[in-house]
Structure 1
Amino acid sequence: MSRRLGNRSGASIRARSSRYSATRRGWPMVLAGGLVASLLAGCGATSLGLGTSEQQSATTGCSSGGVQSALPSTVQPGSTITVASDASYEPNEFLAPDGQTIIGMDIDLLRGALQCLGLKVKFQNAKFDNILPGIVGGKYDMGASSFTITAARLRQVTMVSYFSAGTQWITQKGNPKKFNPTKPCGHSVGVQTGTTQADEIAAINKGVCKSDHVKPVVEDLQSKVTTDLLAGKVDAMAADSPVALYAVKKTGDKLQAVGDITGSAPYGIVLPKSQDKFGVAIAKAFAAMATNGSYQKILAKWGQQSGAVEMFAANPAVPND
């Protein structure tokens, strides 16, 4: 979400290249035989009430024959991968109108990549700031929830880049509180817990707004953050650019973006730290999707073409925190 928390370089794969490199580290992740971590009860998130979204249809990734050989020996073709996702971040990951099925851009992209690798997937709804600990602790095999790749996170887990996003500030239409994103001092701002934006406000309060703090209103769900803004409970909200701009689009004339998108950085699929070789296989699958056009089609389906990347990498180099 730019959901940040932190470097080392890893294999990178360009969309039109079949060559890749991988480190020789792995661990016996027993995925064959339907390893599925303990089920996590859904947290009851809804899709903001900002309009309906179509149920996810079968995702076209690529033929598994082309990239399946990139899988490490510890991951068997046909295995089911348990993926945690906070389904409150429309359009990246959110609940369909049935209140149970997790859909969205991230869901389609990862489903396609795993299809390329001959793997099955089971998505589980989880609170955002519980996902990384769950992966580190072995509760989940993977995470797909708009995680920004940071040096702090790379010290804990392996991450595979697949999209680029930044922070966007949003106000009610007409900006009635005269909110200035370059100097938001004294204003109330809604953010989701555990996100980059929550960290950014903390930094602002130590800097430009040291004498007149921004008043953060932190919610567990991004949907609640948006609802607070619509109801006038906060002066503005800050969220990842695809999520913020999608909220503007879905609410018609009720919200607007203010200021430029800042701090653009890559999103990453999250795996256990020692699963870097599996991460390289996923990067290779994304590259195959970009080559056959399914990557671009999925982004277009969710109106997120501006975040497309040309290179997919396992543990890419990022600035130190």
Structure 2
Amino acid sequence: MTASSTRRTTAARSRLAAAGAIAVAGALLLTGCGDQTKEKNNDSGSASTSNAPLADKLPQEIRSKGKIRVGSDIAYAPVEYKDSAGKVVGLDPDLAAALGKQLGVTFEFQNGTFDALLTGLRSDRYDIAMSAMTDNKNRQEGVDPDTGKKVGEGVDFVDYLTAGVSIYTRKGDTKGITTWDDLCGKKLAVQRGTTSEDLAKQQAKKCPSGKKLAIEPFDDNQQAQTRLRSGGADAVSADFPVAAYAVKTSGGGKDFQIVGDQVEAAPYGIAVSKTETQLRDALQAAIDAIIKNGEYQKILEKWGAQDGAVKQSVINGGK
């Protein structure tokens, strides 16, 4: 994992994480999609309301069910993805497991395409969406970033991390790309509904006549990588943690390289329906609790995302 269901989309603010620190941390970082199948996060399955300090903050309906249904694009390593055994792993599942201990419930991850997660939230398929989703005003207000028109009810975000957006190319074949302006006249692959797609659309409007930026959107970042690897695109844009993971792991580190600097630092947020204020506030309290007890920092360090750490959770901190 835009207001029109963007991962990671809209007005253009994405995510930050210091390239050097994440690379040094060997961050295992990301992407993909799938049908709406349930993917239970086994690590969070031990949650129990009997010894959970924040259980009473949850809505009674969720406490009774003992679980929170999480809509997520489980193909965005290292934020959420399936390991070789088919288990859902990553930064978000680990954070969810820690939150589950505080709240006394299991976070049950359900796989879906990123650009449909907010729709699933509105239709009550999910209780929350947690999928490296950028918190921004368009999503908060339910506005399509392309048309500026209202497309549905907005959502509230419980922010928990900061990240930026990066560009990567085939290794040794950068096509002279170091900035977003250099993409004019090139072909860029992105994941549909993400901040990267929004930024690409904005850049395309700035390109001079005769140097059109061709944007190729895909359902997931893995498909975009395949397109780049085959030579069908000149570059891919993705959240920095995802880009760093792709560069580190694809072809044993021989396929890709990051070019230029990260842009548009912005918060990742857990999306919650605006009517579910009690659930929203319970999640915020749980995030603050794991920040205070040190679990949060350990999880971020495990996945090389510590430079995106926040000191406390806020509601709707995106702009």
TM-score grouping bracket, smaller chain normalisation: 0.7 to 0.9
Separation of aligned partners in 1, 2:295 and 2:45 = 9
Separation of aligned partners in 1, 2:46 and 2:303 = 15
Q: Displacement, 1:176?
A: 4.0
Separation of aligned partners in 2, 1:208 and 1:182 = 10
Q: 5 Å matches for 1:103-252? A: 103-155=89-141, 156-183=154-181, 184-209=183-208, 211-251=210-250, 252=253
Separation of aligned partners in 1, 2:132 and 2:277 = 19
Q: Give CA deviations for 1:15-64 in whole Å, capped at 9, x if unaligned.
A: xxxxxxxxxxxxxxxxxxxxxxxx92479xxxxxxxxxxx9756999995
Contact 1:77 1:119 in 2 (8 A): no
Q: Displacement, 1:151?
A: 0.7
Q: Displacement, 1:129?
A: 1.0
Identity of matched residues, %: 34
Q: Which residue of 2 aligns with 1:93?
A: 80
Q: Give CA deviations for 1:227-285 in whole Å, capped at 9, x if unaligned.
A: 22222221110000110111111131321111111000000111112112311211111
Q: Call closer, same or farther: CA 1:303–1:135 in 2, change over 3 Å.
A: same
Q: Give CA deviations for 1:179-228 in whole Å, capped at 9, x if unaligned.
A: 23231101111100111111111111112345422111211111111122
Q: Which residue of 2 aligns with 1:279?
A: 280
Q: Which residue of 2 aligns with 1:253?
A: 254
Q: Displacement, 1:121?
A: 2.0
Contact 1:143 1:270 in 2 (8 A): yes
Task: Report how many aligned residue pairs link the two structures.
Answer: 274
TM-score after normalising by structure 1: 0.78
1:3 to 8, 11, 27: 8
Q: Call closer, same or farther: CA 1:4–1:182 in 2, change over 3 Å.
A: closer
Query: What's the secondary structure of 1:89's corresponding residue?
Result: coil
Separation of aligned partners in 2, 1:203 and 1:57 = 40
Separation of aligned partners in 1, 2:46 and 2:292 = 13
TM-score after normalising by structure 2: 0.79
Q: Displacement, 1:120?
A: 1.5
Q: Which moved more, 1:191-200 or 1:202-211?
A: 202-211
Q: Call closer, same or farther: CA 1:107–1:153 in 2, change over 3 Å.
A: same
Separation of aligned partners in 2, 1:153 and 1:191 = 19
Contact 1:190 1:225 in 2 (8 A): yes
- Please tell me the residue identity of whatever aligns with 1:40: Q
Separation of aligned partners in 1, 2:198 and 2:256 = 23
Q: Displacement, 1:173?
A: 1.4
Q: Call closer, same or farther: CA 1:212–1:42 in 2, change over 3 Å.
A: farther
Q: Are 2:288 and 1:302 aligned?
A: no
Q: Which residue of 1 aligns with 2:36?
A: 40
Q: Call closer, same or farther: CA 1:229–1:61 in 2, change over 3 Å.
A: farther
Separation of aligned partners in 2, 1:180 and 1:95 = 32
Contact 2:135 2:266 in 1 (8 A): yes
Q: Give CA deviations for 1:105-130 in whole Å, capped at 9, x if unaligned.
A: 11111221122111122111111111
Q: Displacement, 1:167?
A: 0.6
Q: Call closer, same or farther: CA 1:189–1:60 in 2, change over 3 Å.
A: farther
Q: Which residue of 2 aligns with 1:19?
A: none
Q: Which residue of 1 aligns with 2:53?
A: 66
Q: Which residue of 2 aligns with 1:52?
A: none
Separation of aligned partners in 1, 2:173 and 2:294 = 39
Give unpaired runs (5+ residues) of structure 1: 7-38, 44-54
Normalized per residue, which structure has more helix? 2
Q: Displacement, 1:83?
A: 0.8
Separation of aligned partners in 2, 1:118 and 1:231 = 46
Q: Give CA deviations for 1:99-155 in whole Å, capped at 9, x if unaligned.
A: 4x3221111112211221111221111111111001011111111111100111112
Q: Displacement, 1:74?
A: 4.9
Give unpaired runs (5+ residues) of structure 2: 2-6, 12-34, 142-153
Q: Which residue of 2 aligns with 1:313?
A: 314
Separation of aligned partners in 1, 2:282 and 2:316 = 12
Query: What's the secondary structure of 1:313's corresponding residue?
Result: coil
